[in-house]
Amino acid sequence: MSNLIVIAFPNQELAFELRAELIKLQQEYLIDMEDVVIVTKDADGKVKLHQPVSLTAMGAVGGSFWGMLVGMLFLNPLLGMAVGAGAGALSGKLSDIGINDQFMKDLADNFQPGSSAIFVLIKKVTADKVLDALAEFTGKGKVLQTSLTKTEESELRKLIEGHA
């Protein structure tokens, strides 16, 4: 079972710094993230999702390949590739894996302009080592929501919010 953690920051830079640190920890096999998305609200109040993988682009690449392959069977690989890319891009745009986009946008509507939040869906974690590695973020954010146990959430709040 995966756990969701949402942490808000008063500016946008801190969320991107935290995501970079989490990716580094994932490369060290201390955390296994299913999804990590940064949501920002600009000065005009526009909400933007910063996802590390573009599903539309991935769908277009996959669709091009399969379209070209099918097109070769019918002696028109370019047409097959074009149709496949279009179909793949559409399916990628319509698919939503990981954290629900509408949920993130709805939560971000309440943010102050210029602020951000990071949404992390975690499969597994070596909690003590990850919390130690994130010590530089102490007192810089606010935990908005988690699906952690009360004890785990308390430890996370202590670290991120900087109080017991």
Q: How far lies 58's CA from each of 25, 65, 88, 90, 93, in Å?
A: 25, 11, 8, 10, 9
- Please give the average per-residue pLDDT across 8-26, as a whole number: 94
**Tokens read off for 156:** 């996370």
Q: Distance between CA atoms of 95 and 142, rounded to whole angstroms?
A: 30
**Predicted local distance difference test score (pLDDT) of residue 106:** 86
Fill in the DSSP letter of residue 55: H
- Please give the average per-residue pLDDT across 129-153, as a whole number: 93
**Predicted local distance difference test score (pLDDT) of residue 92:** 47
**Predicted local distance difference test score (pLDDT) of residue 53:** 56
Task: Identify the structural domains of the chain with CATH numbers, from first to last.
Answer: 3-52+97-161 (3.40.1520), 55-94 (no CATH)
Residue 133: φ, ψ to 5°: -70, -20
Q: Model confidence at 110, in pLDDT bands (50, 70, 90)? A: confident
- Cβ(28)–Cβ(130) below 8 Å: no
